[in-house]
Chain A
Amino acid sequence: MNVELIDIHKHFGSVRANSGIDLKILPGTIHGILGENGAGKSTLMKVLAGFIPKTRGTILLDGSEVGYSSPEGALRHGIGMLYQDPLDFPPLSVLENFMAGQVRGATMGTEVHRARLLELCTGLGFKLDPDVPAGRLTVGERQQLELARLLSSGARVLILDEPTTGISGLQKEVLFSALKSIARGGRSIVLVSHKLEDIEALCDEITVLREGIVTGTMERPFSTQALLSMMFGSEPSPAIRSGHEPGAQALYLDNVSAPGGRAGLAECTVHVSRGEVIGLAGLEGSGQEVFLRIAAGLIRPHRGRVHVGRRDMTGRGYHAFQSLGVAFQPASRLEEGLIRGLTVTEHCALGEGGGQFMVQWDTAEQDARDKIRKFQVAGTPDSPVESLSGGNQQRLLLAFLPEEPELLLLENPTRGLDLESVHWVWDHLDAHASRGAAIVFSSSELDEILMVADRVLVFFDGHIIKDERPEDTDALALGRAIAGKM
């Protein structure tokens, strides 16, 4: 099916997310939409998928204009979207999720659907057990399930929003080969990403967005330089690895075991020195989350001891850890990190603490102004945090870290940020490390870990199976370790 978007505008109040976008997607091709955070990629795709209404513009399918106002309407026209966070029903089984929205008439036709699901999975190289609850799947597997469901529901244009975020290298390979075979079958695929590497590997044509407009298109063979300059206007400079000499003990986990996540954490012993930057690699739920939360005092281990600095902190709570200069930053920005409904100023006032009865609103507002300037947040002191874009929320979270932390525990601190922002974040964190703070962070991007960490810990199934310096290893070796192959 030929998809043509003409002069698409989408405004959120005074914010222009899309201003006059033209886009053509040919059948049987994989089309990449590239751009940094806030470029308008997701918005454009949500308009195409019927998830949000456009302000104005035209959508042509095979030359005739269509109007729909819901994802279901879009799917009736053959357009299906795989969202960044798969929209499934965790307690229902894989098969029930697959059937959702597909069952018509009075009978369920369970067996027909089971056969259909298995057939699709075989064709695409997916290994899904139809009877397992969807909540037990990894993000990658949930994607596969959603993909199969969309195909079975008659989608001829598939939109994937940042599909490689949070999935393993192995799952990425499976996904990419599946997408290629889907495209060969004559359907079109639109891949939204800020990861140049993925887009270059997979796409036939690339459209680059910046600040809500198209800044260029390119067909194979791609020029990385040209694409980067379309994305950023100018090329970002590469970051320098920190390479600090480690100092005294900052954190010591002694044979710690704890439940939590999928795998929990088993018999983990780790020393972290002051000034050290440590990257945690591994599939989502392999133990990194539990590790960080134990080190922050948020989870109490049922065995082993936790030392912060020289103090034995086993069994103490998060606030006691906090008073020793431990700072924890969760991955989910609006679920755990920031408070929806509160403005930047109100967040600053919360952070000030102190024994005062009254809120010093003047001080808080000044503080908010300073933070906004220093951390380059696009917003005002009065902006509710949920009105900021993902990247700006991330910067704001960083702004709320204590001034002089001793131990920084960061979950995916650059998730969803574009390259330029990633460099900016690490420049900032590096300054903490050179002051002597230890930094432990998890990331699904091996490149990032190799770039900034002094040490890499690889988690697999609740165990640390690799502990090495980046110069002694490479992405391939780490990738194998993540997949459990030593």
Chain B
Amino acid sequence: MALETALTLTVVLGFTTLVLLLAGAPPLESYRQIVKGSLGSWGKVTHVIKVWIPLTLAACGLLYTFRIGLWNIGVEGQVMVGAVLTTYVLRTGSDGQHGQYLLAAALLAGMAGGALWAVMAGYLKTRGGVHEIFAGLGLNFVAQGLVLWLIFGPWKQPGIASMSGTETFAEHLWMPYLEGLRISPAALGMTLTSVVLTAYMLRATRFGLYLKAIGSNEKAAFLFGLRPQATMILAMVCAGGFAGLAGSFQVAGVYHRLIPAISSGYGYLALLVVMLSGFSVWVSPLVAFFFACLNVGSIQLPMVLQLDSSLSGVIQGTLVMAALAMHAMRARSRKGGGPDAGG
């Protein structure tokens, strides 16, 4: 699995170099700038970790839904609704009392919000027969609309509504962060815990086994006495919970307010992360780190090399193509082997 990921990244590097050459940019210099821009200083690394946290959390959630064979593309909306509910709870606490309790409640509310949004897609699928991709996409639009409406409507800043978001919370409602580094150790710790917890859930628990069984053959799993639909809803709850937590951290730990682009596309990006890592819980955080570096590092490409920053989008697109190609190649090589059932 790790080897495959490495191979994929090599293919990606090749493609990306080609793209850079076509764009008239010096590839080596561009790569140097990306590395320098992401890992060049402690400050830069903190930026990378700030991106890595929501990406990894959303990826953790997606591991549950991928395992049961669901394309939970609604993860983006789940991040946003998590952020909305967290904002809602924190907005009630302007009097300065019980900051830490309110923060805990806000994180729980965020997880519940993400889970709720995911369960809606889940029920649309199991009861309504709507494919989870369409249900998820639809709910993403609704969530984005909700965020914008809140920012420009009920939660607008005193005086004037602004794209810069809602009013910033009082400082006692921010997640505690390390002075100078601007990282919340609690968020980092909870993210690492989420990775370990997910690995444990998938490997050692009955729930994890059920996810795999239903994802591999729903009909047979049903005949074995499993309940595919209920398990799917539960998988969506897990995915939405982690995505919602990512949204909570974006609000309570990073921006300290609700902004229109609160999810920053990390939900969609997490889908790529998980696919690229071959659905491995241990490889996903590494790939998430790689993407985070790419994201942060390419910010200064336009300034230094006069390249458009959308080039990082091209690189990400290339990654997807390479991941899919590797996936197809693996599927083909697997089909070639194995004795035939007929004898």
A336→B220 contact, CB < 8 A? yes
Question: Given B207, B216, B226, B342, which contacts A416 in the complex, CB threshold below 8 Å?
Answer: B342
Alpha-carbon separation in the docked complex, A351 to B224 (Å): 6
Smallest distance from the beta carbon of B340 to chain A beta carbons, Å?
Answer: 6
Within A27-48, the residues touching B (CB, 8 Å) are 35-43, 46
In the complex, are the beta carbons of A17 and B205 less than 8 A apart? no
Query: Please, which residues of chain A bring their CB within 8 A of the CB of B337?
Result: 12-13
By a CB distance below 8 angstroms, the chain B residues around A340 are 216-217
Give Cα A165 to B271, complex, Å: 45
Report the interface size for chain A: residues with CB under 8 A from the other chain. 52
A interface footprint on B206-217 (CB within 8 Å = 1, 0 otherwise): 111110110011
Interface string of A270-308 (1 = CB under 8 A from B): 000000000000000000000000000000000000000
Query: A13: which B residues are within 8 A, CB to CB?
Result: 337-338
Residues A339 and B221 in contact in the complex (CB < 8 Å), given A346-B212, A356-B206: yes
A460 at the interface (CB under 8 A from B): no
Contact B223 A389 (CB under 8 A): no
Which chain A positions have C-beta within 8 A of B207? Answer: 357
Q: A319-B227, A342-B212, A350-B221 are in contact. Are A358 and B341 (CB under 8 A)?
A: no
Q: Closest chain A residue to B200 by CB distance?
A: A358
Contact B216 A339 (CB under 8 A): yes
Contact A46 B340 (CB under 8 A): yes
Q: Which chain A residues border B223 with CB–CB below 8 Å?
A: 318, 328, 330, 336-337
Q: Is the CB of B220 within 8 A of A359?
A: no
- Interface assignment of A391: CB less than 8 Å from any CB of chain B: yes
Contact A346 B222 (CB under 8 A): no
> Is the C-beta of A71 less than 8 angstroms from some C-beta in chain B?
no
Distance of B68 from chain A, by nearest CB (Å): 12
Closest chain A CB from B200 CB (angstroms): 10
CA distance in complex: A341, B223 (Å)? 17
Chain B 309-343 interface 0/1 with A at a Cβ cutoff of 8 Å (1 = within): 00000000000000000000000000001111111
A384-401 Cβ-contact flags toward B at 8 Å (1 or 0): 001101110100000010
Q: Are A350 and B343 neighbours in the complex by a CB distance under 8 Å?
A: no
B225 at the interface (CB under 8 A from A): yes
A129 → chain B closest CB, angstroms: 30
Contact of A336 with B219 in the complex, beta carbons under 8 Å: yes
With the chains together, A318 CA to B222 CA distance in Å?
Answer: 9
A200 to chain B, nearest CB (A): 20
Whether A365 is near chain B, meaning CB under 8 Å from some CB there, is no
Determine the chain A residues whose CB is within 8 A of the CB of B224 once the complex forms.
339, 347, 350-351, 400
Contact A350 B209, CB 8 Å, known A330-B223, A336-B223: yes
* Cross-chain contact A389 with B206 (CB below 8 angstroms): no
Contacts of A333 in B (CB 8 A): 341
Cβ–Cβ < 8 Å partners of A52 in chain B: 340
Q: CA separation between A36 and B223, bound complex, in Å?
A: 29
B204 within 8 A of A: yes
Minimal Cβ-Cβ distance residue in A for B336: A52
Q: Is A38's CB under 8 angstroms from B343's CB?
A: yes
Among A336, A349, A350, chain B packs the most CB atoms within 10 A around the CB of A350
CB-CB under 8 A from A341, the residues of chain B are: 212, 216-217
Contacts of B209 in A (CB 8 A): 346, 349-350, 359
One of B221, B226, B339, B343 near A387 (C-beta < 8 A)? B339
Interface membership of A162, Cβ < 8 A: yes
Q: Known contacts being A346-B212, A350-B209, is A390 close to B220, with CB within 8 Å?
A: no
Given contacts A346-B212, A357-B205, contact A43 B340 (CB under 8 A): yes
Task: Take A319-B225, A328-B223, A359-B209 as given contacts and tell me if A387 and B338 are in contact as well, using a CB distance cutoff of 8 Å.
Answer: yes
A342 touches B226 (CB 8 A): no
CB–CB A335/B219 < 8 A: yes
Instruction: A162 to B223: give the CA distance in the assembly, Å.
Output: 28
Q: In A407-436, which residues have CB < 8 Å from any B CB?
A: 416
Task: State whether the Cβ of A93 lies closer than 8 Å to any Cβ in chain B.
Answer: no
Q: A336-B219, A336-B223, A339-B220 are in contact. Are A42 and B343 (CB under 8 A)?
A: yes
Selected contact of B339 from candidates A41, A359, A389, CB within 8 Å: A389
B343-A40 in contact (CB<8A): yes
| Distance of A130 from chain B, by nearest CB (Å) | 30
The 0/1 profile, CB within 8 Å of A marked 1, for residues 222-238 of chain B is 11111100000000000
Closest A residue by C-beta to B216: A341
Question: Which of A319, A328, A359, A390 is in CB contact (< 8 Å) with B343?
Answer: A390
Q: Is A486 an interface residue (CB 8 A)?
A: no
- Distance in Å: Cβ of A50 to nearest Cβ of chain B: 14
B213 touches A350 (CB 8 A): yes
* Chain B residues closer than 8 Å to A46, beta-carbon distance: 340
| A319 to B154 alpha-carbon distance, docked (Å) | 49
Q: How far is the CB of B169 from chain A (nearest CB, A)?
A: 38
A339 / chain B contacts, CB cutoff of 8 Å = 213, 216-217, 220-221, 224
Using Cβ atoms and an 8 Å threshold, which residues of chain A touch B220?
335-339
- Known interface pairs A12-B337, A339-B220, A387-B338. Does A322 touch B225 (Cβ–Cβ under 8 Å)? yes
A residues less than 8 Å from B208 (CB atoms):
359
Out of B206, B216, B338, name the residue touching A342 (CB < 8 Å): B216
A84 near B342 with CB under 8 A, answer: yes
B165-197 interface bits toward A, Cβ cutoff 8 Å, 1 = contact, 0 = none: 000000000000000000000000000000000
Per the 8 Å Cβ criterion, residues 355-380 of A in contact with B are 356-359, 361
Other-chain contact of A346, B213, B339, B340, B343 (Cβ < 8 Å): B213
Q: Which residue of A lies closest to B219 (CB)?
A: A336
The proximity string for A residues 315-334 relative to B, scoring 1 for CB distances below 8 Å and 0 otherwise, is: 00011001000001010011
Q: Find A390's partner among B219, B221, B342 (CB 8 Å cutoff).
A: B342
**B135 to chain A: closest CB distance in Å?**
25
Picked from B217, B219, B226, B339, the residue with its CB within 8 Å of the CB of A17 is B339
What are 16 A-B contacts with C-beta separation under 8 Å? A13-B338, A38-B343, A42-B340, A42-B342, A340-B217, A341-B212, A347-B224, A349-B209, A350-B226, A358-B205, A358-B206, A359-B205, A389-B339, A390-B343, A391-B343, A400-B224
The 8 closest A-B pairs by CB, nearest first: A42-B342, A390-B341, A38-B343, A339-B217, A341-B216, A12-B339, A37-B343, A336-B219
